């Protein structure tokens, strides 16, 4: 059974990707899991300057879900490029650099920095982070701004370009089309849904940042619908994510039209999830005589 897949020029050994922000830069993951279980890894959202992140508490569990308000804590692009990526590259798994910025100029500068690293296989432009005040989600909720930020990156980055979309919009297909028009080779969806929780004992919001991003099984139906809509609206491959915690979940995304999938919250609960999901997809296909992944991509739409 052939599990390889192609994401706009980025070839993956298997379709399971580590979602940005739930894998760090691999250094801690490796103590609990095996990086080679992944088809590719997307690193923590990185900005030009280091960011300390939001005040605690930063997480709160909700029914089958997780609210987080990390706030893009990261050591800045320079440290990531010089210290984190050379180490991560030794595992020979394609590295997707997830980048976040407050302006098109910054996006362009950041993309140029990563373009000089020999270790980056693809860029993932995060126009969908709900946890930062400036930039972030603003780029992903307006088709024109999504076009401009994607274009800014496209002009300085020749490799595979992925744009990561937010579900916090009325029509995700219009944003998706804008990204593709600006030169995106693939789309990642979805980022988290904006939410909040209140502690009735303290009568205060639970999260230090008040609002946070909802992820996990609770958002899977929303994510699946987004993948379904976007994959029929554009011609580029889609990376589906949102609540995947089993091979069955991953298969649903593939059948809805995703060419690959990412696991985020699932990785926080179970470091071995990439192995389980890949194995489960293989078993499903073999039991049905399916020989390539492409036979199931979009199967639910045919």
Partner 1 sequence: MSLQQIYDVEARIISVSNVRGKVYKMAIDAPEIAGTAKPMQFVNVALGDSTDPLLRRPFSLSGIYPDRGIIEITWAVVGRGTEIMAGWQAGQSVKVLGPLGNGLDIANLCLDHGLILVAGGTGLAPLFPPASQALARKAEVNVFYGARSADDLLDTGDLVTGCRLHLATEDGSTGFEGLVTDLLEAHLGVQGTGDNGKPTVISCGPKPMLKQVKHICNRHGFPLLVSLEERMACGYGVCQGCAVPSAGRKSGYYRVCTDGPVFWADDIDLGECTR
Sorted by sequence, the CB contacts under 8 Å of residue 99 that are 6+ apart come out as 45, 46, 47, 77, 107, 110, 111, 114, 123, 124, 125, 126, 153
Residue 38 interacts, among partner 1, ligand FMN, none and using kind-specific CB cut-offs from 5 to 8 Å, with none
Residue 271 interacts, among partner 1, ligand FMN, none and using kind-specific CB cut-offs from 5 to 8 Å, with partner 1
Write out the binding residues for ligand FMN, residues 105-164 only, by CB under 6 A.
Answer: 126, 129, 164
Q: What per-residue string of b and e applies to 191-215 under the rule 16 or more CB within 10 Å gives b?
A: bbbbbbbeeeeeeebbbebeebbbb
Q: How many CB atoms lie under 10 A from the CB of residue 73?
A: 16
Residue 164 interacts, among ligand FMN, partner 1, none and using kind-specific CB cut-offs from 5 to 8 Å, with ligand FMN
One DSSP character per residue, 5-68 reads EEETTEEESSSEEEPTTSSTTSTTHHHHS-GGGSSEEEPPPB-SS-B--PPSP-EEEETTEEEE
**Least distance to partner 1, CB of residue 122, Å:** 20
Residue ranges of the alpha helices (H) in 120-219?
Answer: 143-154, 172-181
**Least distance to ligand FMN, CB of residue 121, Å:** 16
Pick 70 or 122: Cβ nearer ligand FMN = 70
- Please pick, from the candidates 263, 273, 293, 297, the single residue that binds ligand FMN as defined by CB under 6 A: 263
- Please pick, from the candidates 82, 105, 272, 283, the single residue that binds partner 1 as defined by CB under 8 A: 272
Write out the binding residues for partner 1, residues 202-261 only, by CB under 8 A.
Answer: 208, 216-217, 245
SS3 per-residue string spanning 61-106: EECCEEEECCCCCECCHHHHHHHHHHHHHCCCCCEEEEECCCCHHH
- Please pick, from the candidates 7, 12, 41, 70, the single residue that binds partner 1 as defined by CB under 8 A: 70
Tell me: does residue 86 bind partner 1 (CB under 8 A): no
Binding piece for partner 1, criterion CB under 8 A, among 16-24, 78-86, 185-193, 228-236: 16-24
* Upstream peptide bond of 84 is cis (omega within 30 degrees of 0): no
Token pair 């609540």: residue: 243
Tell me: does residue 265 bind partner 1 (CB under 8 A): yes
Pick 102 or 295: Cβ nearer ligand FMN = 102
Closest CA to 195 of 208, 221, 214: 214
214-233 footprint of ligand FMN as x/- string (CB under 6 A): -xx--x--------------
Rounded to whole angstroms, the Cα distance separating 283 from 247 reads 9
Tell me: does residue 192 bind ligand FMN (CB under 6 A): yes
Q: Which of 129, 146, 226, 285 is labelled catalytic? A: 129
226 is catalytic: no
- Please pick, from the candidates 143, 271, 274, 298, the single residue that binds partner 1 as defined by CB under 8 A: 271
Rounded to whole angstroms, the Cα distance separating 256 from 251 reads 8
How far is CA 281 from its chain centroid?
20
Q: Which residues lie near ligand FMN (CB under 6 A)?
A: 19-22, 44-45, 66, 68, 70, 72, 98, 126, 129, 164, 191-192, 215-216, 219, 241-244, 263-266
**Binding region for partner 1 (CB under 8 A):** 21-24, 27-29, 31-32, 44, 50, 52-61, 63-66, 68, 70, 73, 208, 216-217, 245, 265, 267-272
């Amino acid at each position: 059974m052939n599990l390889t897949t192609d994401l706009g020029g980025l070839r993956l050994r298997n379709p399971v990707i580590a979602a940005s922000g739930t894998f760090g830069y691999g250094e801690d993951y490796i103590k609990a899991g095996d990086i080679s279980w992944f088809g590719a890894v997307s690193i923590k959202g990185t900005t030009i300057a280091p960011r300390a992140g939001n005040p605690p508490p930063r997480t709160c569990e909700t029914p089958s879900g997780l609210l987080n308000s990390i706030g893009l804590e990261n050591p800045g692009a320079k440290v990531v490029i010089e210290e984190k990526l050379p180490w991560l590259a030794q595992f020979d798994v394609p590295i997707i650099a997830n980048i976040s910025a407050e302006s098109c100029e910054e996006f362009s500068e950041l993309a140029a920095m990563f373009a000089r690293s020999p270790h980056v296989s693809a860029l993932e432009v995060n126009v969908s982070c709900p946890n930062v005040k400036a930039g972030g989600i603003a780029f992903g909720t307006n088709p024109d701004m999504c076009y401009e930020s994607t274009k800014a990156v496209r002009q300085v980055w020749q490799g595979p370009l992925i744009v990561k979309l937010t579900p916090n919009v009325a029509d995700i297909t219009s944003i998706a089309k804008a990204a593709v028009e600006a030169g995106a080779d693939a789309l990642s969806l979805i980022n988290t849904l904006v939410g909040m929780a209140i502690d009735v004992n303290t009568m205060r919001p639970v999260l230090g940042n008040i609002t946070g991003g909802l992820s996990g099984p609770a958002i899977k139906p929303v994510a699946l619908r987004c993948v379904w809509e976007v994959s029929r609206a554009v011609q580029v491959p889609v990376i589906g994510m949102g609540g995947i915690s089993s091979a069955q979940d991953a298969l649903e995304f593939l059948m809805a039209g995703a060419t690959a999938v990412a696991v985020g919250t699932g990785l926080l609960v179970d470091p071995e999830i990439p192995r389980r999901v890949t194995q489960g997809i293989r078993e499903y296909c073999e039991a049905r005589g399916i020989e390539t992944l492409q036979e199931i991509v979009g199967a639910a739409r045919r």
